[in-house]
Chains A and B, each alone.
Chain A
Amino acid sequence: MKYQLEHLLDGCLSQLNEGADLEEVLAQYPAHADELRPALAASALMREIAPPPRRRLEHKAELMATVARRRRLVESVEGVVVEIKAGVPVEELLARLPVELHPAVLAAYRMQSTPTPMPTQESIAEGKQRLMALVAERRIELGLDAAPKRDLAGGLLRGLLPSPTWGRRLVTGALAAALMVSVGLAGLLQVGTAAASSLPGDNLYHVKRLGEQAQVLFAFDPDLKTTLRARFDERRLLELHALARDGRALPEDLLQGFLDQRAATPEDLARLSQDQRELLRSLLEMAGEDVADDLDPSVREALLPQTQPKSAPEPQTERGSNNSVSLDWVPSSQPRPLPEGEADEEPILEETPIRAPIADAPPAVDETGDKQGASEPDPVTEPEGPVSSEQGDPPPVVQREPDEDEPSEQPDEPAAQQPPASGQPAVGEPGPAEPGAGAEPPPVVVPDPEIGEPGGDPPPIVGPPPLEQPAP
């Protein structure tokens, strides 16, 4: 219905535009006349306001003429510009072109004839230098070039991949983190190495003790745990001995702790090796009566059988002060002087075979928990083990003097330095660090190739030239 009405309205408007009368048009559609009348009346009113078609055509013609004139002007000015740029004299153009173009001709000529502003050479050079620097920075940012030396590692890492993708950044970050961790571990290893040679009272000694506690904590094998504890107890004794050798004060709590744990009863004492007992005895003599008085009487009697006054110096030991140490303890790798009486019966080297007690020892466990070969010394019974290698200092040494019956390669040794004939343990010099050692001849280092420590040099043995050892 609506479509039909619109169709009728369109036809009526066409008739009105052709000059038909409104009432005549409506009379053709009487059924829709009332609906069509308002729209057709408005259309007639608009037609009366608008200019007649003829006038509109005239206006359009005027507009097109103006546009054409303007286009000619534009093209003329374009021609002027081309001619001025081509070098045609401005006077010629002014004479040839209409007056209305003269301002444009003169303006174009002025624009063309004005010297071109030029930048200074300095600004050009500085600008290029700055641009090149920025390009270089951008190339480094994108990984196209290696960074300067201060960022060499970063540049190398950036150069692993061709473009700055997220994957590359991830790899770069991971590598940088790994590098930092490696540096940190290296630092820790250095600290650990330094701590291993520390003694009670040193700054890094607590690091050493923490490391030992960690080893015991993470040793899940009970046997290994026991072995480690024994090794570390042994180490405490050696530390005390090293302190005494260096003339440093002995921490009594450390010695007391060892006595409480390892030498509280005669049974405990019996489990100690001969080396440990001798070392313990030396330390007790130095520590004073207070420590010795706290011992079990039987233990005290076993360790200090002579019951000599503890403060009285023994004639055979060099003990100038409380901080000095009795140096009569001999590592198990050394031929040990025998008690009086025994030495008279057999030569020392025959009485104390070097390898006999070590061959029967259980396999040792090194610092990392790795078991050593069966021929390796027991760390508990072998005092020269880890400590000596960690401390880097030679162990306490004994200048063993040969018996009178033994062939000596030092016939010119002064008689004053000969050991007493009493058969007491010989008193030796600890080495260059000991006062008065300068008078001694240079020590002869005799490493034992069979008792070498894993990862460390065999403990140096200072003594006379090796004697020809008879077969056991």
Chain B
Amino acid sequence: MQEEHDLIRKAQSYDPDAFGAIYERFYNGVYRYIFYRVGEQSLAEDLTMEVFVKAMEAIDTYSFRGVPFSAWLYRIASNLVVDHFRRQPSQMAVSLEEKLVASLEHPTGVLESEFAHHQLRRALSELTDDQQQVVILKFVDGLSNLEVAQILGKTEGAVKSLQHRALASLGRVLGERGEVPA
């Protein structure tokens, strides 16, 4: 934890090495989170880059007394995703549909994992925003309930409850589509 504090303090002095270390440490997690929320690789990459740019621009405002730095980054990512869908509300559904159709038309050309991503992403889209964030942060990014609670600004109990409802709804949706045994 002290190491991360030192890293952040250096970054607040605009130390290029510190920013490089932060980028390498948090990039994959932020990317996965954004990918599952937007469902498109290139868009996820662009938004992930934008997260780190905004983090660099606002690094002075980060305080160690608040949320952890990772949670601060995920909040930026969440806000960017929300802003993106506010600007282009129909893009997510269209993108998912197009990719799904493309994967069905050319199954041999699509990796199985990519197809699984699309199926899962489509099921996740049936959940509420809070539920999506909880399952993505917990399963994709591997965060703890406390970290998820800090990112979402909720209690750990609320996060557990959201997780329960999210998994129950997701299981029901996947079962209805035959993607998991009912």
Contacts and interface: CB of A to CB of B under 8 A. Distances in A.
Nearest to B142: A85
Given A75-B160, A127-B52, A103 B23 contact: no
Given A78-B163, A117-B32, A138-B56, A132 B19 contact: yes
A118 B48 CA distance: 12
A106 B161 CA distance: 17
Contacts of A144: 13-14
A124 interface: yes
Interface in B23-56: 23-24, 27-28, 31-32, 35-36, 41, 44-45, 48-49, 52-53, 56
A91 to B, nearest CB: 11
Contacts of B20: 128, 131-132
Interface in B104-158: 113, 116-117, 120, 135, 138-140, 142, 145, 157
A73 interface: yes
Contacts, number: 136
A459 B19 CA distance: 70
Dominant SS at the A interface?
helix
Nearest to A105: B171
Contact of B161 (A74, A109, A111, A134): A74
Contacts of A38: none
B28 to A, nearest CB: 7
Interface string A278-304: 000000000000000000000000000
Given A73-B164, A74-B161, A131-B56, A110 B174 contact: yes
A130 interface: yes
A117 B29 CA distance: 10
Nearest to B181: A106
Interface string A142-160: 1010000000000000000
B56 A114 contact: no
Contacts of A124: 27
A107 B180 contact: yes
Nearest to B175: A103
Given A114-B117, A131-B19, A142 B14 contact: yes
A457 B179 CA distance: 102
A115 B45 contact: no
A127 B27 CA distance: 10
B76 to A, nearest CB: 14
A130 B120 CA distance: 32
A70 B168 CA distance: 12
Nearest to B42: A123
Contacts of B13: 144
A116 B113 CA distance: 9
B167 A127 contact: no
B135 A111 contact: yes
B171 A102 contact: yes
Contact of B56 (A70, A73, A134): A134
A128 B56 CA distance: 12
A114 B113 contact: yes
A22 interface: no
A77 interface: yes
A25 B41 CA distance: 77
Given A78-B163, A110-B120, A117-B35, A131 B139 contact: no
B77 interface: no
A104 interface: yes
A108 B171 CA distance: 8
Contacts of A182: none
Nearest to A108: B167
Nearest to B39: A117
Nearest to B30: A119
A135 interface: yes
B160 A128 contact: no
A17 interface: no
A310 interface: no
B172 interface: yes
B180 A106 contact: yes
Contact of A103 (B53, B161, B172): B172
A104 B171 contact: yes
B28 A81 contact: no
Given A117-B35, A119-B28, A127-B45, 16 more contacts: A81-B167, A103-B180, A104-B164, A104-B167, A107-B170, A110-B180, A111-B140, A117-B32, A117-B36, A117-B41, A118-B32, A127-B27, A128-B24, A134-B53, A138-B57, A139-B14
Interface of B: 13-14, 16, 19-20, 23-24, 27-28, 31-32, 35-36, 41, 44-45, 48-49, 52-53, 56-57, 113, 116-117, 120, 135, 138-140, 142, 145, 157, 160-161, 163-164, 166-168, 170-172, 174-175, 179-182
30 contacts: A73-B164, A74-B157, A74-B161, A74-B163, A77-B163, A77-B168, A81-B167, A85-B142, A103-B180, A107-B135, A107-B180, A108-B167, A109-B180, A111-B120, A111-B140, A112-B139, A116-B32, A117-B35, A117-B41, A119-B44, A120-B45, A127-B48, A128-B20, A128-B24, A131-B52, A132-B16, A135-B14, A135-B16, A135-B56, A138-B14
Interface of A: 70, 73-75, 77-78, 80-81, 85, 102-112, 114-120, 123-124, 127-128, 130-132, 134-136, 138-139, 142, 144
What are the nearest 5 A-B pairs in CB distance?
A103-B171, A107-B171, A104-B167, A111-B139, A107-B170
